[in-house]
Structure 1
Amino acid sequence: MTGPAPAPPGRPGPTGRARPLEVVTPGYGGGNLAGVLPSSLAVLGVPGAVDRLGLFAELPGVRRIAVLLVDGLGWYQIPTAAPYAPTLTGLTAAAGRPLTCGFPSTTPTSLVTLGTGTAPGTHGVLGFTLRIPGTDRVLNHIEWAADDPHPLRWQPVPTQLERARAAGVAVTAVSRPEFGGTGLTLAANRGGDYRGAAGVDAVAATMLAALTAGSGPTLVSGYHPDVDRHGHLSGVDSLPWRVAVTEVDALLARLVDGLPPDAALLVTADHGQLNVPAGHRFDLDTDPRLTDGVRVVAGEPRVRYLHVAPGAAADVTAAWSGVLGAAARVLSREEAVATGWFGPVPEEHRERIGDVVVVCNDTYAVLASRSEPPTVSRLVGFHGADTATEMTVPLLVVRG
């Protein structure tokens, strides 16, 4: 690993106005991704739903809401996307505001935060991969079979889709066909009729068909993954990333054009993304100082959870702090929970967090070249940590 050490993180800045690599806090009490669906339900008249984002005043008379989550399209990526996305740019200027996602700033955590309307500590999906307590097994939430562990045990919080359906709202979830019935889908989106759709044309057509199918209150939740995928594989602002952004722009245009007069479209994301240069990559699997005393490694390259041998936590903390220096913050589980990153964490979820938590600063990452799939080490774009670039996502609100 080479390259200059980054400056220490600054104080948390106002959402959307912080410097790109400045640390921001999740803000669970206000403008956070967790408020999108509860606020939508309040607009639709669901009893007890709390309008945390002030949407009710913006959307009088709305009886149908479509919520589209574009994976990887952070607030700080929108200026980069602007030359290829005129619809996105116009909507952001006219009706856009920044929110924070939850921590870690990663897809499984954010999808369940959106779906349940709660902070990660409450719903328990506290990272991309997590050690299953009492075992040395690591659960990859993206590859989660529906019964291993069972979603209702691993994530027991009712979803906002379930709440909407119980109140008489017609509810549909639209995502890729292969995601239907997976553990992550059941954890985040149970309660809605699932409709598989691959590609922007199918997503647009399926969301609009569900939005206009009936005459009563309607909620449609949609998901599109390609901006994130190409950011990972080729980097933010690469040619494949630009093509993916162009396709998302066409998707937004179709949805806006097809909105009924009594409908609204909300567009958001699960996290932002940044490119990690070759000189800013540590590899824990090639440095014995980083493996000594560590039993299980979970999390992802920007946020590592280290489960250590009995009595080894202090030595592991000292070793990782010495090797990474200013490239990361190395905390105990208790210190990490006390930061408020996860919101309140009940006792039954605490052991899912590592004994030692490593959060990368600047554009650094900690790879595991032998114990994780080799494709991870070849990625260009990453996310997961608490920089403004990773944590800040858009909310675009469009009336029919």
Structure 2
Amino acid sequence: MNELDTYPPRYGSASLADILPSALAVLGVPGNPDVLGLTDGPLAGARRVAVLLVDGLGHRLLDQAAAVAPTLAEFTSGRLGSLRPLTAGFPSTTPVSLVTLGTGMPPGAHGVVGFTLNIPETERVLNHIRWDGDPDPMLWQPLETRFQRAAADGVAVSVVSRPDYDGSGLTTSAFRGASYRGASGPDELASGMRAALAEGERSFVYGYLPDVDANGHYFGVDSPQWRGAVTEADRLITMLADGLPADTALIVTADHGMIDVPADGRVDVAAHPEMRQGVRLIAGEPRVRYVHVQAGAAGDVRDTWRAVLGERALVMTREEAVDTGWFGPVLPANAERLGDVIAVCVGREVIINVPEADMESTGVLRAYHGSITAAEMEIPLLTLRGNVTPTG
């Protein structure tokens, strides 16, 4: 399969949404189906499970990563643990993925269906990364998290991540029910996750490393800066894997992959004023735009966007997008958060210069993600059981 081929989510069989239910099934937590087969497979009998999410380390990037990451190379060669591909949810972007992971549910169910979303019946656009708690995350994302289920069953549940993420709307939506340990950098993450794993008779720990994604965005995939971030991620994986106790298992995954976008792959909305005709506001992100239109304008806006974008994007109405199944089953209240018209970039293009939704650097990044291509959607599932020492 080509990296730009369409690669739909595999909810219920091999997706990001299936990791926590399957891992918690290993720990005996009720109401968690093990569709990944971890209970009778690589995690059989484990009493302690750690999940490390390396932001941006898509499955299609592992070969490039292995060149500067000895422990990842051991996984990709089959000499250490096990490795198989899963899919992210759609859109393949961090806030969507983190809530998909934490709830164990597809985006259409939990409602965090984009990097930025129009808050229905308002002119506001919510940026989930800069979410200070308004709207109330308990109302915006009301589903129970898998962390809450595990804690209710007596599992010691922890999140280890950057201190400034503690208490954010996104953290509350994705990880409520877990105790929070602030940690910056691989060394603090490793020590924090190891300490949390030792708690209680059963423990579940989630750790998050953002640096591979950040360096990919700003400098490009396989740039020296990206390679440096991958090397540090590999060092963290090595510290977690080295001397892993016999009753403990480590899972390493990602929230999405990413692709480089050339300078001539940027569709500037400001350079195409017709793209604003009949439009109330635009949300989403550069690879997946949600276009909210004025009353009765959906058909005209769809046709205009199709004319401008051509084969560079799939341009659909909300109903057509929901019917793809890419979001999973979409609750009616969550469907309102999607655009009336949705544009999904399928080549090496992005749609930029949307001031109501974009952050300051959005248009000048080197690499992007969010769309439905294999390069963005395919993520790794690496599993390792205790008492195996990596050679890296």
TM-score by length of 1: 0.94
Q: Does the Cα contact within 8 Å between 1:204 and 1:255 map onto a contact in 2?
A: yes
Q: Give secondary structure in 2 for the equivalent of 1:298.
A: strand
What's 2:65 paired with? 81
Q: 2:112 aligns with which of 110, 117, 125?
A: 125
Name the aligned partner's letter for residue 120 of structure 1.
P
Count matched residues: 381
Q: Give secondary structure in 2 for the equivalent of 1:390.
A: helix
Q: Give secondary structure in 1 for the equivalent of 2:154.
A: coil
In 1, the alpha carbon distance for the partners of 2:173 and 2:297 equals 34
- State the Cα deviation string for residues 335-359 of structure 1 (Å, max 9, x = none): 0000001000011111100000000
Which segments of 5 or more consecutive residues in structure 2 lack a partner in the other structure? 387-392
What's 2:146 paired with? 160
In 2, the alpha carbon distance for the partners of 1:93 and 1:66 equals 22
The answer to whether the aligner puts 1:351 opposite 2:336 as a matched pair is yes
In 2, the alpha carbon distance for the partners of 1:186 and 1:291 equals 35
Q: Does the Cα contact within 8 Å between 1:108 and 1:128 map onto a contact in 2?
A: yes
Q: How does 1:116-195 map to 2 (within 5 A)?
A: 116-146=103-133, 148-195=134-181
Q: Give secondary structure in 1 for the equivalent of 2:308.
A: helix
Name the aligned partner's letter for residue 112 of structure 1.
V
The answer to whether the aligner puts 1:112 opposite 2:99 as a matched pair is yes
Q: 2:250 aligns with which of 246, 261, 265?
A: 265
The answer to whether the aligner puts 1:19 opposite 2:5 as a matched pair is no
What's 1:286 paired with? 271
Evaluate the alpha carbon distance shift between residue 180 and residue 258 of structure 1 in structure 2; reply closer, same or farther with a 3 A threshold: farther
Q: CA deviation at 1:160?
A: 0.3
Q: Does the Cα contact within 8 Å between 1:113 and 1:120 map onto a contact in 2?
A: yes
Q: Give the 4+ runs in structure 1 shifted more than 6 A.
A: none
Tell which deviates more after alignment, 255-264 or 150-159: 255-264
Tell which deviates more after alignment, 384-393 or 80-89: 80-89
What's 1:399 paired with? 385
Q: 2:325 aligns with which of 330, 340, 353?
A: 340
Q: CA deviation at 1:291?
A: 1.0
- State the Cα deviation string for residues 79-102 of structure 1 (Å, max 9, x = none): 111110110121233310000010
What's 2:53 paired with? 69
Q: Give secondary structure in 2 for the equivalent of 1:84.
A: coil
Q: Give secondary structure in 1 for the equivalent of 2:36.
A: coil
Name the aligned partner's letter for residue 70 of structure 1.
V
How large is the RMSD of aligned CA atoms in angstroms? 0.9
Q: Percent identity?
A: 56
Q: Give secondary structure in 1 for the equivalent of 2:67.
A: helix
Name the aligned partner's letter for residue 47 of structure 2.
R
Q: Does the Cα contact within 8 Å between 2:112 and 2:141 map onto a contact in 1?
A: yes
In 1, the alpha carbon distance for the partners of 2:240 and 2:268 equals 43
Name the aligned partner's letter for residue 150 of structure 1.
D
Q: Does the Cα contact within 8 Å between 2:26 and 2:46 map onto a contact in 1?
A: yes
In 2, the alpha carbon distance for the partners of 1:357 and 1:228 equals 25
In 2, the alpha carbon distance for the partners of 1:306 and 1:89 equals 42
In 2, the alpha carbon distance for the partners of 1:390 and 1:86 equals 24
In 2, the alpha carbon distance for the partners of 1:220 and 1:337 equals 34
In 2, the alpha carbon distance for the partners of 1:92 and 1:194 equals 32
Evaluate the alpha carbon distance shift between residue 299 and residue 369 of structure 1 in structure 2; reply closer, same or farther with a 3 A threshold: closer
Q: How does 1:218-233 map to 2 (within 5 A)?
A: 218-233=203-218
Q: Does the Cα contact within 8 Å between 2:118 and 2:337 map onto a contact in 1?
A: yes
Q: Does the Cα contact within 8 Å between 1:159 and 1:191 map onto a contact in 2?
A: yes
- State the Cα deviation string for residues 294-328 of structure 1 (Å, max 9, x = none): 11110000000000011111111111100110000
In 1, the alpha carbon distance for the partners of 2:12 and 2:29 equals 20
Q: Does the Cα contact within 8 Å between 2:156 and 2:199 map onto a contact in 1?
A: no
In 1, the alpha carbon distance for the partners of 2:346 and 2:377 equals 13
Q: Does the Cα contact within 8 Å between 1:120 and 1:342 map onto a contact in 2?
A: yes
Q: CA deviation at 1:285?
A: 2.2
Q: Does the Cα contact within 8 Å between 1:329 and 1:359 map onto a contact in 2?
A: yes
Q: Give secondary structure in 2 for the equivalent of 1:289.
A: helix
Q: How does 1:196-345 map to 2 (within 5 A)?
A: 196-214=182-200, 216-345=201-330
In 1, the alpha carbon distance for the partners of 2:187 and 2:359 equals 32
What's 1:10 paired with? none
Q: How does 1:14-53 map to 2 (within 5 A)?
A: 18-53=1-36
Q: Does the Cα contact within 8 Å between 2:217 and 2:366 map onto a contact in 1?
A: yes
Name the aligned partner's letter for residue 26 of structure 2.
V
TM-score by length of 2: 0.96
In 1, the alpha carbon distance for the partners of 2:205 and 2:227 equals 27
What's 1:4 paired with? none
Tell which deviates more after alignment, 316-325 or 85-94: 85-94
Q: CA deviation at 1:369?
A: 5.5
Q: Does the Cα contact within 8 Å between 2:39 and 2:45 map onto a contact in 1?
A: no
Which segments of 5 or more consecutive residues in structure 1 lack a partner in the other structure? 1-17
In 2, the alpha carbon distance for the partners of 1:374 and 1:173 equals 29
- State the Cα deviation string for residues 177-197 of structure 1 (Å, max 9, x = none): 000000000000000000010
